[in-house]
């Protein structure tokens, strides 16, 4: 189950939530395949003005994405290609919705989870 947590400056997020959810879900489905679409879980978090900083200065041109993935994706022979596609697709999805000026400040982090450490509804996810 791909799950994303996206932090964006509040002023960039407000009003763009539906478009952003669609764009992020489409990005995951483009990389993994249509089978994954219904499994994509998106959490959007708005960060108030002045609480995103880079280089010691408040900015509103950054985004942070944490994508939870199964650890096995890194063991595949095509892991480098898949992870690069995920990073690019998610960055593109965000910039299409909130503006290309956030591209340089968008960080996508792939967080690996071993199968025995993922639970959904209180049960081990298989």
CA end-to-end distance (rounded Å), the chain: 10
| Contact present, 42 and 29 (Cβ < 8 Å) | no
Q: pTM for the full model?
A: 0.91
Between CA 18 and CA 30 the distance in angstroms is 18
Angle subtended at Cα 121 by Cα 120 and Cα 126, rounded to the nearest 5 degrees: 35
Pull the structure tokens for residue 35: 């089978």
Q: Is the dihedral of CA 27, 32, 36, 40 positive or negative?
A: negative
For residue range 23-73, list pLDDT tens digits in order.
999 999 999 999 999 999 999 999 999 998 889 999 999 999 999 988 888
């Amino acid at each position: 189950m791909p799950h994303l947590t996206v932090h964006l400056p509040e002023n960039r997020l407000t009003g763009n939530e539906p478009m952003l959810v669609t764009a992020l879900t489409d990005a995951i489905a483009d990389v993994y395949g249509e089978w994954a679409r219904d499994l994509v879980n998106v959490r959007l978090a708005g960060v108030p003005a002045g609480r995103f900083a880079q280089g010691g200065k408040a900015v509103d041109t950054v985004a942070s994405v944490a994508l939870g993935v199964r650890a096995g994706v890194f063991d595949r022979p095509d892991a480098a290609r898949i992870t690069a596609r995920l990073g690019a697709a998610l960055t593109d999805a965000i910039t299409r919705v909130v503006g290309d000026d956030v591209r340089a400040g968008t960080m996508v982090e792939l967080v690996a989870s071993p199968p025995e450490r993922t639970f959904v509804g209180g049960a081990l996810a298989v």
